[in-house]
Structure 1
Amino acid sequence: MKTICSHVILLIAANLSFVAGYLNIYLTISEVQRLLGVSAELYYIRNGNINNQALNFIVQIPSNINALYFTWEGLTDQPLPYAITVHTSNPEVLPPPKLNISYVGTVPKTTQTFLVSLPCSGLTEAEVDIKITINITLTNKNVTKLTFNRKKMCLLLDKSVSLIAQDSLLQLPNSASIFYIAMCCALLLMVMLILLVTLYYVKDKKCRSSGNTQPTTAATTFLAALPRNSVNASSYGSFIRMPSYSLIDERSKDLQDRIADLTVQRCRIRLSSIFLEGTFGRVYYGSYTNEDGAEETVIIKTVTDHASQVQIALLLQEGMTMYSLNHKNILSILRVSIQDHSAPFLLYPYKNTTNLKMFLQKCKVSSEGVHHTLTTQEVVEMALQIIQAMQYLHKKHLLHKDLAARNCMVDNELHVQVADNALSRDLFPSDYHCLGDNENRPVKWLAIESLLHKTFSPASDVWSFGVLVWELTTLAQQPYIEIDPFEMAAYLKDGYRLAQPINCPDELFAVMAYCWAMSAEERPTFTQLHVCLQEFYAQLTRYV
């Protein structure tokens, strides 16, 4: 993202003279945000001054974007004739683009936005070069040629996808229709707000009246689902009857029942000290008094008071993915505490463990200030434990989807447990990136098919395991640190992978490389990885 920001700053800064005051052509803040993820306007011509560096900059268009928007206006009373041509390097992959304006005409004298549609054919997958040329004829009959270069990655698409949406892109509403649409939306919103306030008042009045005769139950105001199923719950009783979360296994319909089974009173939980802290998430050391009256030491995941309902819902959803799992190498959730007007507590058993990523980073410098590296035997032993956990998960028909050192725990004896990814995006923000699709993902740990198509399988977990072993051998260095997240897909498709770490045996690096095979079918299973690493571990122990 920093690379893109620096590009935009350079592009906006460099200008050459055109003809003063004749024309403005630029990308609005919303369009730059949509394409590059940066909040800034990008001017190609400002008050007649041409920004050549901006014109020479090749913009990468995400595969899910099917239209480009340019804003322009003429700054002179004289008409400015224009002629637009659009060419693509592969018409079979990306058919000739269409405009919502005429290809020949005059530049409007008021600020207007025109559209260039770029729908892929979906017949094959390839990267396409796009060249948009605009010829502007000045009053003195001089013709200025402006060329905008773009690249787009087209993917294979389901032919059942309707083309109506693509055609609709060609119709931009005029200012009058925008005004009436906005007025209708505002009126509709006001009506909905009035109805919601009325319903809330009636329901609150009923709750108050019933509260005089019956004791109230524990209440919560958490969302019972993510934004696509945004439903607000006013009590714990209604919360457990809400539609279930979208989890990775067929048992997702039982999520509310799971929470009910694990719920304990808040008075039985005591917070001790903060273990990890992010923008809105916190992990505490604490204790929990169980049913027998014995006190257990636990790790507690929760959020701050300013966390949104969506963040709270995501904490519960991701925290319950390891529900009811019983394996020595898996950290399963122990209890949940939900209390009215306060953040939920997720409790996990604690046995002198710490986060694996933080543990590896501390290994870099020992108490004597000397660089310390785990032995190959220790690395392989830890990898074998993670494999056993993943074998158990896959036998339960569960996918992890975010296997990494940050989502594992380790104790002083190097006993490793695979954990869920609840709060990981907040606690380890540098490990996650948004590629313009409003979804924060562990881009540099994802398999190529997960990155391109958001498809996950046991083979995609194997890919992430390879990156995790690389983390073990490098003491939690950032993978692909020199590669921009937006360039990761192209980088992997070109066949590039992580380099062999220093002092990493060829046998161990070969295992990593097998995990990063381009085709999911060519990657080993966790069972095959276990056999391979077990043999390598046996060889290592013979020399110790």
Structure 2
Amino acid sequence: MGDKFFLFSFLLCLPLAKAGLNFFISQQESFRVLGLVAELAYVRDGSINDVAQHFVVPVPAHIHELCFVWVNADPKSVKYSIFTKDNSMQSVNHVSLNISNQGVVPREPQIFCLLLPCTTILPSKLEVSMKINFTSFNNVTVLNVVMKKDCSSEELRNVEQDVLSKVIPAEDSSFMLYVAVGVAFGILVVSLAAASCFLCPKHNLCHQQPPRTIVPSGTALYSPVQATCNEDLGAATLCVSDPAAHQIVIEDKTSFRLQRNNIHIGSTLLEGTFGSIFHATLQIPCQPLKDVIVKTVKHNAAEMQVKLMMEEGTRFQDLVHPNIYPLIGIVDGDGSRPLLVYPSVTYGNLKTPHKCTLCFRWLLYCRGSLDGSLPHPLCTQDLVTIALHVLRGVQYLHQQNIIHKDLATRNCVIDDQFHVKLTDMALSRDFFPNDYHCLGDNENRPIKWMAMESLTRREFSTSSDIWSFGVVLWEVTTLAQQPYVEIDPFEVGRVLRDGYRLTQPVNCPDELYAIMAYCWASSKNERPTAPQLYRELHQFHHQLNEYI
């Protein structure tokens, strides 16, 4: 234990070297996996840290992957080859990387991950070693990283079988037989459920139909109780809830409560100290299964943390807009931890995608996506389009007299059509601890995204949201760099009063930076409104298209 604390105290808060090869576990990843706010550096400026190399990383049972950051800032290119080995005593290696096993170390900081599943194939005490050969001209440097994971829980092994299916192909034809039988059984169950919906006696509800309700945008929401049939809405037969528990409509806005047995929790997508995000499936009677995302708190969460998640997570539940990430259901009131249910999104949020196999920041991933994994590399038009999507969501919130108070890329999600949607800030403090700071007042706040009046006087308005949007635009343009990284949080208020602002990003057009600076006017009355900003950005986007 003493060696561990010596190691982390030695590596705490080391800056990224400006030259040479660097290979490390970031502070955020170290906090997620080990619970320590420290950067574990294996190679610093071309020199291997022997203490780190002999440190065995204890990976918790619920962590499915371990992610590393690397960059070669030296003028000489460095080739790499990676070999992984586990203690399963089998010829097949059951751990997997999300990058190729050989190539060239990137010139910009990039993140890659090592999948560490727990399955019945692997030992209960999983040991994995990763050997990396770095080659520059004729010089070869060998680095060894050793990890251990406790996979003794049978429940955990069953949960992580889906991870294994992405890593290990089926080698036995009997495996395909089991899959086929399972699929056939699933189809049979769904068919029987659909038949029960369409064949139930119609006269049961003829004289006790529930009051007719209007759902905006044609959205039908159903309560999770015994399904019956109702033809009140026309010729089409719809499965709806029992009349006593019919969908709730308040001032033409929908709210939706679910039962816990409607939600089937799957793999963990994001893990915090007291909160978690899961992939799940939503099953409503007579409706097809739907992939969803579930936010919840752990059993060790305090009552205050539960209350805060519910307050922040339900702010957008009645809103309907293409650029707002909707809350589609709530599980609460049954004595267990509450669940917030959202639609599934392909790429997660702009800062950390939900796909475990991608586990690096989405914008940073785009920065290094030269392998064709995206339809095309992001250009300035794409970045401005992302900003326009965010701004449309901001404009809608302001029309609804709602102040977001925490605009940032971490609170924006992106779907498979690359549409960006604003989210609430529920559990963001837990998932992104490096983005929030407590200035001695026992309140974690996004200091480096906040307007001057919000920092000093706790004043929040549409103008303070516009300031934060300027920081979001800077994040998008820099592909998710950390704002004011060189400034201590306690000094942010002072340097802003002195006129200091975020510098113009590399390759950022002057016109785009002028729009950012427009958002950071000291006086809130001098900042643009969301409609004014939208017109400016839209015009700039049009000019870019004309130029191309």
Task: Please report the TM-score for the alignment, with normalisation by the length of structure 1.
Answer: 0.51
Which residue in the other structure is 2:104 paired with? Answer: none
Q: How does 1:396-411 map to 2 (within 5 A)?
A: 396-411=400-415
AA partner of residue 334 (structure 1): I
AA partner of residue 302 (structure 2): S
SS at match of 2:483: coil
Which residue in the other structure is 2:274 paired with? Answer: 280
How far residue 323 of structure 1 moved from its aligned partner, in angstroms, is: 1.5
Measured in 2, the distance between the counterparts of 1:398 and 1:299 equals 24
Measured in 2, the distance between the counterparts of 1:300 and 1:259 equals 22
SS at match of 2:348: strand
SS at match of 1:356: coil
Which residue in the other structure is 1:365 paired with? Answer: 368
In 2, are the aligned partners of 1:373 and 1:475 still within 8 Å (CA)?
no
Measured in 1, the distance between the counterparts of 2:280 and 2:272 equals 18
Measured in 2, the distance between the counterparts of 1:521 and 1:437 equals 28
Measured in 2, the distance between the counterparts of 1:364 and 1:395 equals 34
How far residue 367 of structure 1 moved from its aligned partner, in angstroms, is: 6.5
Pick from 527, 532, 535 the counterpart of residue 536 of structure 2: 532
Residues 257, 439 of structure 1: CA spacing in aligned structure 2 closer, same or farther, 3 A cutoff?
Answer: farther
Measured in 1, the distance between the counterparts of 2:264 and 2:432 equals 25
How far residue 339 of structure 1 moved from its aligned partner, in angstroms, is: 5.3
Q: How does 1:368-383 map to 2 (within 5 A)?
A: 368=371, 374-383=378-387
Measured in 1, the distance between the counterparts of 2:481 and 2:515 equals 19
Residues 439, 259 of structure 1: CA spacing in aligned structure 2 closer, same or farther, 3 A cutoff?
Answer: farther
SS at match of 2:511: helix
Pick from 438, 460, 463 the counterpart of residue 467 of structure 2: 463
Measured in 2, the distance between the counterparts of 1:430 and 1:373 equals 28
Q: How does 1:261-272 map to 2 (within 5 A)?
A: 261-272=255-266
How far residue 360 of structure 1 moved from its aligned partner, in angstroms, is: 1.1
Matched, 1:338 2:329: no
How far residue 292 of structure 1 moved from its aligned partner, in angstroms, is: 3.8
Residues 369, 429 of structure 1: CA spacing in aligned structure 2 closer, same or farther, 3 A cutoff?
Answer: farther
Measured in 1, the distance between the counterparts of 2:323 and 2:254 equals 25
Measured in 2, the distance between the counterparts of 1:267 and 1:260 equals 21
Measured in 2, the distance between the counterparts of 1:339 and 1:451 equals 36
Pick from 304, 321, 328 the counterpart of residue 327 of structure 1: 321
SS at match of 2:507: coil
Residues 291, 455 of structure 1: CA spacing in aligned structure 2 closer, same or farther, 3 A cutoff?
Answer: farther
RMSD of Structure 2 on Structure 1 (CA): 2.8
* Deviant stretches of 4+, over 4 Å: 256-261, 367-373
Which residue in the other structure is 1:178 paired with? Answer: none
SS at match of 2:351: helix
In 1, are the aligned partners of 2:390 and 2:421 still within 8 Å (CA)?
yes
Which residue in the other structure is 2:111 paired with? Answer: none
In 2, are the aligned partners of 1:338 and 1:345 still within 8 Å (CA)?
yes
Q: How does 1:131-530 map to 2 (within 5 A)?
A: 261-338=255-332, 340-358=334-352, 359-366=362-369, 368=371, 374-530=378-534
AA partner of residue 276 (structure 1): L
Measured in 1, the distance between the counterparts of 2:347 and 2:529 equals 28
In 2, are the aligned partners of 1:353 and 1:411 still within 8 Å (CA)?
yes
In 2, are the aligned partners of 1:374 and 1:473 still within 8 Å (CA)?
no
How far residue 370 of structure 1 moved from its aligned partner, in angstroms, is: 11
In 1, are the aligned partners of 2:253 and 2:319 still within 8 Å (CA)?
no
How far residue 413 of structure 1 moved from its aligned partner, in angstroms, is: 3.2
Equivalent residues, number:
293
How far residue 332 of structure 1 moved from its aligned partner, in angstroms, is: 1.4
Which residue in the other structure is 1:184 paired with? Answer: none
In 1, are the aligned partners of 2:292 and 2:343 still within 8 Å (CA)?
yes
Measured in 1, the distance between the counterparts of 2:252 and 2:450 equals 29
Residues 373, 487 of structure 1: CA spacing in aligned structure 2 closer, same or farther, 3 A cutoff?
Answer: farther
AA partner of residue 466 (structure 2): V
In 2, are the aligned partners of 1:274 and 1:285 still within 8 Å (CA)?
yes
How far residue 296 of structure 1 moved from its aligned partner, in angstroms, is: 1.3
Measured in 2, the distance between the counterparts of 1:325 and 1:261 equals 10
Measured in 2, the distance between the counterparts of 1:259 and 1:415 equals 23
SS at match of 1:342: coil
Residues 345, 303 of structure 1: CA spacing in aligned structure 2 closer, same or farther, 3 A cutoff?
Answer: same
SS at match of 1:406: helix
Residues 394, 286 of structure 1: CA spacing in aligned structure 2 closer, same or farther, 3 A cutoff?
Answer: same
AA partner of residue 454 (structure 1): R
Residues 369, 375 of structure 1: CA spacing in aligned structure 2 closer, same or farther, 3 A cutoff?
Answer: closer
How far residue 476 of structure 1 moved from its aligned partner, in angstroms, is: 0.7
Residues 395, 257 of structure 1: CA spacing in aligned structure 2 closer, same or farther, 3 A cutoff?
Answer: closer
Mark the runs of 5 or more structure 1 residues left unpaired by the alignment.
Answer: 7-253
Measured in 1, the distance between the counterparts of 2:251 and 2:531 equals 33
Measured in 2, the distance between the counterparts of 1:369 and 1:531 equals 33
AA partner of residue 367 (structure 2): K
How far residue 405 of structure 1 moved from its aligned partner, in angstroms, is: 0.2
In 1, are the aligned partners of 2:255 and 2:318 still within 8 Å (CA)?
no
AA partner of residue 311 (structure 1): Q
Q: Deviations over 1:502-536 (max 9, x none)?
A: 00000100000000000000000010011111111
AA partner of residue 317 (structure 1): E
Measured in 2, the distance between the counterparts of 1:365 and 1:418 equals 25
Measured in 2, the distance between the counterparts of 1:400 and 1:343 equals 25
Which residue in the other structure is 1:194 paired with? Answer: none
Measured in 1, the distance between the counterparts of 2:309 and 2:419 equals 26
Q: How does 1:52-91 map to 2 (within 5 A)?
A: none
Measured in 1, the distance between the counterparts of 2:253 and 2:536 equals 39
In 2, are the aligned partners of 1:258 and 1:323 still within 8 Å (CA)?
no
Q: Deviations over 1:76-99 (max 9, x none)?
A: xxxxxxxxxxxxxxxxxxxxxxxx
Measured in 2, the distance between the counterparts of 1:483 and 1:343 equals 38
How far residue 447 of structure 1 moved from its aligned partner, in angstroms, is: 0.2
